Amino acid sequence: MGGQACVLYGAAQVSKDIDFIVFESDSNIERLLRAHDELQARRIAVPRFDPELLSQGHAVHFRCRAAGVEELRVDVMTRLRDVSDFESLWQRRTTFIDDAGNEFNLLSVPDLVVAKKTQLTKDWPITELLVSIHYRENGDSPTREFIEFWLRETRTPELLVELCSRFASEVAAMKTQRPLLDIALSGDLDALRVAVDAEIRVEQAKDRANWEPLRKELEQFRHAERGQGRTESSVS
Tell me: the pLDDT tens digits for 34-43? 999 999 999 9
229 band by pLDDT with thresholds 50, 70 and 90? low
pLDDT in tens, 160-183: 999 999 999 999 999 999 999 999
Sheet of 60-63: strands edge to edge?
A: 17-21, 73-77, 60-63, 42-43, 233-234
d(CA 184, CA 215): 37
Alpha helices in the chain, H assignment, sequence order = 3-9, 26-39, 51-55, 86-91, 109-115, 123-138, 144-153, 157-166, 168-174, 180-186, 189-228
pLDDT in tens, 117-156: 999 999 999 999 999 999 999 999 999 999 999 999 999 9
Q: How many residues does the chain have?
A: 236
Mean pLDDT of 5-32: 92
Other beta carbons less than 10 A from residue 217's beta carbon: 16
* Residue 230 pLDDT exceeds 60: no
Q: Is-contact 62 41, C-beta < 8 A?
A: yes
What pLDDT sits at residue 235?
53
Mean pLDDT of 85-110: 96
